[in-house]
Structure 1
């Protein structure tokens, strides 16, 4: 232990006497170790840390699998049947979300609510911090329950943290609700993009066949595997379809809840961590080369120590002490970069999961950074240490100082630089593929025009607008006022706007089907007003849009998209065909009066799914999005929209009032952030690789100064000397690029899930990157080669 302390003191003095070398090595390591610490923090928070619920490994996300939707929500009868007859789960809970209006204060307030089955919190293992959980009798038919459980944040912010909040009343959607419980601080639900302010018990209507809106999470029974539990539910689902004439046979899709929640972030995080791992390896190779040069220059000193009795292990320990000290300094400086890097990584992750698992500099992250610093120090110090410990002492003692330097060229330096080039090429290929992916996503035709559109969302209270006529009256007057505003081009309504994170689907039957009970299909459905398609510039391919004839008293009509026609009508003529919605139309059929182009509703990278649009006048709903196309900048119309809403109903809150283009920006934020981070890592890797090539060639030229001087003195042309050095650099470049191409071809297949519109083995990308990196390497070679061609023979010979 005493010898180790002495070695660290000696290493510290040595590094202090070489400030340039120490600073270059520490900065290089700080960037690499800091980046690795940031990515580890994100991976630990999102993938390794369990969900903050009781026995989270038993929690499973469940869907019914249908013809065109593999992860469809459940209808209430299906969920009831699964709960009653399923044996692989100890419990199944349903949830959905809605927006409520809170009145009673100075201004109306939007309240984000979760509607859940009464066993929801019990299944998660979450108990209220104050008050009680839901009881079965709290869920009343018709969803008219008047009790709520509020979040800790809502209790502090909106209820003032009152000690007597349990038992107090809230005016929600015009109805009085009683607070029966307050959830513990820190509880958040990862399925919602925004934290819910309060929760309501939801009654499952056993007659709501075909109305798929319930999301489901379940808890597996102890000792039961996910496959066995899913198979059991599949048996139940098929039995329900046989006994319930209102249900169509559905399969079952399942996933462990944490894996589902992190499915979109997992490949991004692993890819970025692999990238920063490559950067760390390049940095280690670079510092190893610097240390190897120092070891070659100081090998006579090492020989003297060996002659004085220093063992091979002691000499190796001394060399490793210096490298580990460099690693620790680099890790310490890297921690200062972590806080900045955290913000970049947070841009890649879903906000719902970040609320539950914040990415922060935790104790595991600090321990990881310490271990990485020591490990990196040992890794890049190993080659110089082995060289120091393995040198032959006697010949070195017999040689002069200059002779020692002349024979110090070490082939391991070339190998380290080739590795740097190979790793840099892999990173460059990945970066180019991600940049191409970003360009492809930006070029996607979403089926609508987002520019110049202002969007807002409204959810009307049932007590005040509980009848279809009142709903029509409110939205009709609002549309009339908005259309009258200057610079308004078109205004429309839709219940689920594209890229909004909301959706609904349901079963339907085609007229003339062979079996009305089994020939039923599932489609996404929207409720839209006249002018919605014009406001969003969604092209009408056949027929017409909704108009005045699609009123409440008009013939039942429907508009479908092209995917609907391809999937269910075999691409034939859709106009005049009739469909019946199982959850809406009691025995009557709706005529298809129009076909519109496909809209990418969920994500720009996902293909359009079958959609059907109902006229708002015939199927009014309380929650709608307003889409307003203007000739001015949409943000300039915000105050006008608020004023017109206030004129219609001063107590009605409006939310998500923003330009529609903001949604497009959010869709691009993840591929943009991924491409930027990979580009930064690739640029750093190329710089480090270029520096490594330059260092090796400059050192080689320095060791061959006498030889090159003699060549020039004997009549060699400077171009020949230049070519001699360039050929050595070309050989090094070809080896590194060749190995890199092979490694990239194997690694890029791991990027497949992140790519869009580009193949992982795109030949043009590989050739282009190889040419660029080879050019960088040869440029780094050209500088010392040019210097070699200008060596003065007399000076080099006289120096010898």
Structure 2
């Protein structure tokens, strides 16, 4: 087959030519490896998080739903509402609720807190997954009088029961109640994080429509049904329920319906796609760089190609030879890039461990390897087109008449210049994007959320629901616990709360004194913090007016509360809020005794809800957060002392999630930190490649015009004239690239708005700093080869 034979000849000849120029080959391969490796590593993240199918049967038919309304984006669902959803819909095969639930497992050496998932009996049927061992839940398990049963996750079964194959039928104790293990789920099966166990919602007294116990709903669409159809149907059902039960369903008249995959990855999807686009631009710079190298190399081979054409080689054959050499470089860059991607993927996995969902599936799969191969081939074609196109326009006879094998063509110069302009422009855009994210992180690190997280040790306590059930018993336990903790050396203040500020706090509906009666369906929704008396001192939340709770008010649950400055301003703008009254959760008026500074979610610019603070003694929590402001004592020593004091009160009380508050907040912004680090790396790569391109072009111009330099210097040109010649030529391209890059950045950075914190997408300081900084670095890249040109002996230069 002649075409195969000639192709083999082209490959052999290409390899031989590349071996003859090891410096050029190594530089081109390394340049491509950086671009292809970065793209492959980023695609491995995209594949693991966004493209990898969920491990369920026909996952594309699974949807996630929550109630919502005009005032609340997502809120929990009452069980009666869920039952109505289940019987009134027409778009689904089945649906189930799911919510988190905390229990304490005892019977071992230490009590163990379990963050379980509470579901309805058909959950595993909805997901389309059967147990690995035993059976799934059935409807009769969820009926009054049924024995409590549980299903274990694969990891929990392995870690706690050593993979006992006879586990089905055995008893474990959860919250002082015996549960029969009926099954074990397959490895890696989970939703909303890997829980240790699954429990049933059960026949508890949750059939009140104003008691919201279902966190969200998972449903399976009927074959042929669409998400749009389901959304329309569920909104209609929600509006029916709002009309039928206006008080219980006040504020809820819509349903959020998303694909299950989108519900898991929706928050990170925009950022990942932006980063993928950014790393794609890095690859384009790599291709432009190599194209420039090939154009310069092709200029030195013009006579070679002309001779081959004169000896009978067709124009197409020579063009194919150039493309074959480019493909060899592309594939070689892909191989080296895979090594870089393998190393960097492991690094990305560690960086994104707490920032990105589903990152545990990150690896170089066949899909990723296929992506790398396609990118390598396309890159070879892209950067090989420029020299191939240049030769296709050249006339061999014209070239053979030229006495110089290195004479540059006017069009070739323009093409190489255009490539450098493109490289600089893309680098400017990426550097500005990285600069905006870096400035966001700096602003975040110095921002105030309204509290002081320094030197605050936190831990979660889990009190069994089957203990301390007598009236006031739980409140007394928590008071004794706080009294013991506060006496420890190194403790400046301590407090209990339902949650840390900005992290999972509850919401409630209120009615303030002096306001007109609410219309049916109208709500005043607020953040609701349940706290002990020392909360404000411990968390460093400033008191603006009035006072905080007394110990007696806290322990006795007196009808008093504090409000934040926004609530006070909204309802009593021209009056003192202290002494006013608010109703919540009951017809009892609660006196406002103090006003405190506004607190916000760390790392969020969203305007927080107005807020109330009520005493812990009035709503004693079984899963409170203990916060301790420390002095100079080592936190680890303090943890041991506090643990001893707590277990002296109740040896079966689990203590979990021990951490400094600063570390918790740092984890909260880990996605922002991941985005910043990654885009900064891509921008740095782009800068290195672009500056290398500027340096290479200037070096090539110096080598090409050495004879001209000799003539100029022989005629009296000074060193600064030569410097001005080459620096001016290079900087003209750089400045054009900066202008184009600024215009592009002005448009492109607007898509980054959701990733920024307290920084405008068109921040003038960032745009100016990047422009000046890159111009200065490019000036140095032009100066080095230009300086070299001034050191050439005119007599030697004239021989070129």
Q: TM-score, normalised by structure 1?
A: 0.93
Contact 2:155/2:196, CA 8 A, preserved across alignment:
no
Q: CA deviation at 1:295?
A: 1.2
Q: For 1:104, which of 103, 107, 119 is the aligned residue?
A: 107
For residues 144 and 546 of structure 1, do their structure 2 counterparts lie closer, same or farther at Cα, with a shift above 3 Å needed?
farther
| In 1, Cα distance between equivalents of 2:681 and 2:30 | 16
Task: For residue 617 of structure 1, give the secondary structure of its aligned residue in structure 2.
Answer: helix
User: For 1:471 and 1:383, how far apart are their aligned partners in 2?
Assistant: 77
Offset of residue 406 of structure 1:
2.8
Deviation at 1:519, TM superposition (A): 4.1
2:480 and 2:623 map into 1 onto residues whose CA distance is: 16
Deviation per residue, 1:416-438 (Å, 9 max, x gap): 11111111111111111111111
Q: Which residue of the partner structure matches residue 195 of structure 1?
A: 195
Q: Which residue of 1 aligns with 2:718?
A: 717
1:647-693 residue CA offsets vs partner (Å, 9 max, x unmatched): 12222221101211111221232222322222222222122211211
Give the CA deviation at 1:357: 6.0
What residue in structure 1 maps to residue 53 of structure 2?
50
Match of 1:458 in 2: 461
**Residue 499 (structure 1) shift:** 5.3
Query: Residue 182 of structure 1 is aligned with which of 173, 181, 184?
Result: 184
Q: Which moved more, 1:326-335 or 1:438-447?
A: 438-447
1:388 equivalent to 2:391? Answer yes
The answer for the alignment partner of 1:6 in structure 2 is 9
CA contact (8 A) 2:710 2:795 kept: yes
Please identify, of 347-356 and 461-470, the stretch whose mean Cα deviation from structure 2 is larger.
347-356
Aligned ranges for residues 82-121 of structure 1 at < 5 Å?
A: 82-121=85-124
Instruction: Please name the residue that 2:651 is paired with.
Output: 650
Deviations 1:236-279 (A, max 9, x none): 33332333343314222413332232122112211211221111
Q: Which residue of 1 aligns with 2:470?
A: 467
Matches of 1:322 and 1:553, distance apart in 2? 83
Paired residues for 1:620-639 under 5 Å: 620-632=620-632, 633-639=634-640
Question: What's the counterpart of residue 246 of structure 1?
Answer: 248
Alignment partner of 2:472: what SS? Answer: helix
Quick check: 1:489 aligned with 2:492? yes
Spell out, residue by residue over 1:196-238, the C-alpha distance to the aligned partner (whole angstroms, 9 max, x if none): 4343434472225154663233334444443443333333333
Report how far residue 280 of structure 1 moved.
Answer: 0.9
For residues 572 and 196 of structure 1, do their structure 2 counterparts lie closer, same or farther at Cα, with a shift above 3 Å needed?
Answer: farther
Residue 139 (structure 1) aligns with: 142
Measured in 1, the distance between the counterparts of 2:570 and 2:82 equals: 27
Pairing 1:63–2:66 present? yes
Q: Tell me how far 1:751 sits from its aligned partner.
A: 1.2
Shift of 1:602: 7.0
How far apart, in 2, do the equivalents of 1:323 and 1:513 lie? 77
* 1:694 to 1:552, Cα distance in 2 relative to 1, 3 A: closer
User: Aligned residue for 2:595?
Assistant: 595
* Corresponding position: 1:38 with 2:35: no
Matches within 5 A, 1:235-384: 235-244=236-245, 245-254=247-256, 255-346=258-349, 349=352, 351=354, 354-355=357-358, 358-384=361-387
CA distance in structure 1 between the partners assigned to 2:128 and 2:704 by the alignment:
71
CA contact (8 A) 1:289 1:413 kept: yes
Instruction: Quote the Cα distance in structure 2 between the aligned partners of 1:356 and 1:132.
Output: 30
Query: Structure 1's 699 and 599: CA in aligned 2 closer, same or farther, altered over 3 A?
Result: same
Equivalent residues of 1:444, 1:604 under 8 A apart: no
**CA shift in 2, pair 1:763/1:684, >3 Å:** same
8 Å CA contact 1:488–1:630 kept in 2: the answer is yes
Give the deviation of 1:407 after TM superposition.
3.9
Over 3 Å counting, the alpha-carbon distance change for 1:119 and 1:568 in structure 2 is farther
Deviates most, 512-521 or 745-754: 512-521
Which position in structure 1 is the counterpart of 2:151?
149
* Displacement after TM superposition at 1:405 (Å): 1.4
Structure 2 residue aligned with 1:128 = 131
Number of aligned residues = 790
Q: SS where residue 591 of structure 1 aligns?
A: strand
* Superposition TM-score, scaled by structure 2 size: 0.93
Deviates more, 1:298-307 or 1:169-178: 298-307
Match of residue 83 from structure 2: 80
Corresponding residue number in structure 1 for 2:564: 561
Which one of the candidate residues 432, 436, 449 is aligned to 2:435? Answer: 432
Deviations 1:134-171, CA, capped at 9 Å, x for gaps:
23343357x99721111111122212222221111001
Q: Which residue of 2 aligns with 1:662?
A: 663
- Mapped to 2, the partners of 1:345 and 1:268 lie a distance apart of 15
State how far apart, in whole Å, the 2-side matches of 1:544 and 1:483 are.
21
Change in 2 beyond 3 A, CA 1:218/1:128: same
- State the distance in 2 between where 1:331 and 1:687 align: 19
Alignment of 1:569-608 (within 5 A): 573-582=576-585, 585=586, 587-601=587-601, 603-608=603-608
CA separation of 1:479 and 1:355: change in aligned 2, threshold 3 A: same
Name the residue aligned to 1:159. 161
Change (3 A) 1:237 1:397: closer
Deviation (angstroms), 1:629:
0.7
**Aligned 8 A contact 2:734 2:775 in 1:** yes
CA distance in structure 2 between the aligned counterparts of 1:564 and 1:221, rounded to whole angstroms:
46
Relative to structure 1, the CA distance from residue 552 to residue 674 in structure 2 (aligned partners, 3 Å threshold; closer, same or farther) is closer
Q: In structure 2, what is the Cα distance between the partners aligned to 1:516 and 1:744?
A: 49
Which residue of 2 is the match for residue 759 of structure 1? 760
Q: 1:673 to 1:636 in 2, by over 3 A?
A: farther
- Following superposition, the deviation at residue 494 of structure 1 comes to 0.7
Alignment deviations for residues 446-493 of structure 1 (CA, whole Å, 9 cap, x no partner): 221111111111111122223343312322222111111101111100
Q: Deviations over 1:524-565 (max 9, x none)?
A: 323211101211111223332222232565542233333444
SS at match of 1:735: helix
* Displacement of 1:115: 1.2
Aligned-pair Cα RMSD in Å: 2.6
Structure 1 residues 730, 518: CA separation in 2 closer, same or farther (over 3 Å shift)? closer
Match of 1:549, SS? helix
Q: Please state how far the C-alpha of 1:284 moved relative to its aligned partner.
A: 1.0
1:198-217 map, 5 Å = 198-203=198-203, 205-207=206-208, 209=210, 211=212, 214-217=215-218
The unaligned stretches of length 5 or more in structure 2 are none
C-alpha deviation, 1:765, in angstroms = 2.2
> Alpha-carbon deviations, 1:293-339, whole Å to 9, x = none?
22111221112211221111111111111111111111111111123
* Distance of aligned partners of 1:762 and 1:696 in 2 relative to their CA distance in 1, 3 Å threshold: same
CA distance in 2, matches of 1:557, 1:683: 56
| C-alpha spacing 1:353/1:675, structure 2 compared with 1 (3 Å) | closer
Task: Give the SS at the match of 2:624.
Answer: strand
SS at match of 2:405: helix
Kept in 1, the 8 Å contact 2:79–2:213? The answer is yes
Question: Residue 113 of structure 1: SS of its match in structure 2?
Answer: strand
